[in-house]
């Protein structure tokens, strides 16, 4: 089985956000095992939003197995430790450009109870409000080609992220 592409995408988007003078934020599911974040700042839904701009943190390490950095919460120094699978999104504070990730360990719909499905749907609906980066559709060969017979053209406009199950 191939390795997860999530750590690679996190690093790439982080670099892109920094290069464009944007403020990167990580949306983290604090309930994923081995996630070390200040529990008092975790929202009721189990998520915490972390500013990971170089001015807000020190010694960031974006590895394949974990993300680690030092920061302060209310003046108190803390080391943050985040497995990549706990990252649900990385995006810019200024314009919400970035990426939201699906839950890699999501159970199959048939094994979820109706309350678990409802909670997952509510969480997914919240996460899909963040836009993906603008796509350069004129240079994309696939999108430049006319639609095949019987297919309609994709809708025009700003791309948005959809979670597909």
Q: Which CATH number do you get for residue 98? A: 2.30.30.220
Which DSSP symbol is given to 21?
Answer: T
pLDDT 10s digits, 110-135: 444 445 444 444 444 443 333 333 32
Domain count, the chain: 1
Domain contains 157: no
Q: Taking the model in full, what pTM does it have?
A: 0.64
Domain contains 107: yes
Instruction: Count how many Cα atoms sit within 13 Å of the Cα of residue 159 in the half-sphere of its side chain.
Output: 13
pLDDT 10s digits, 39-81: 999 999 999 999 999 999 999 999 999 999 999 999 999 999 9
pLDDT band at 36 (very low <50, low <70, confident <90, very high): very high
Domain contains 152: no
Domain contains 153: no
Domain contains 154: no
Structural domain including 25 reads 6-144
């Amino acid at each position: 089985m191939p390795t997860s592409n999530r750590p690679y995408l996190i690093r790439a988007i982080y670099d892109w956000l920094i290069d464009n003078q944007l403020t990167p934020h990580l949306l983290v599911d604090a309930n994923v095992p081995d996630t070390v974040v200040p529990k008092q700042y975790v929202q009721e839904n189990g998520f915490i939003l972390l500013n990971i701009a170089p001015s807000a943190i020190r010694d960031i390490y974006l590895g394949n197995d974990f993300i680690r950095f030092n920061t302060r919460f209310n003046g108190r120094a803390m080391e943050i430790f985040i497995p990549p699978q706990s990252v649900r999104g990385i995006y810019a504070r200024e314009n919400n450009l970035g990426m939201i990730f699906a839950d890699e360990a999501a159970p199959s719909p048939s094994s979820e109870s109706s309350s678990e499905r409802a909670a997952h749907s509510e969480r997914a609906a919240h996460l899909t409000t963040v836009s993906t980066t603008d796509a350069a559709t004129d240079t994309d060969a696939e999108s430049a080609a006319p639609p095949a017979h019987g297919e309609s053209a994709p809708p025009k406009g700003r791309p948005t992220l959809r979670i597909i199950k």
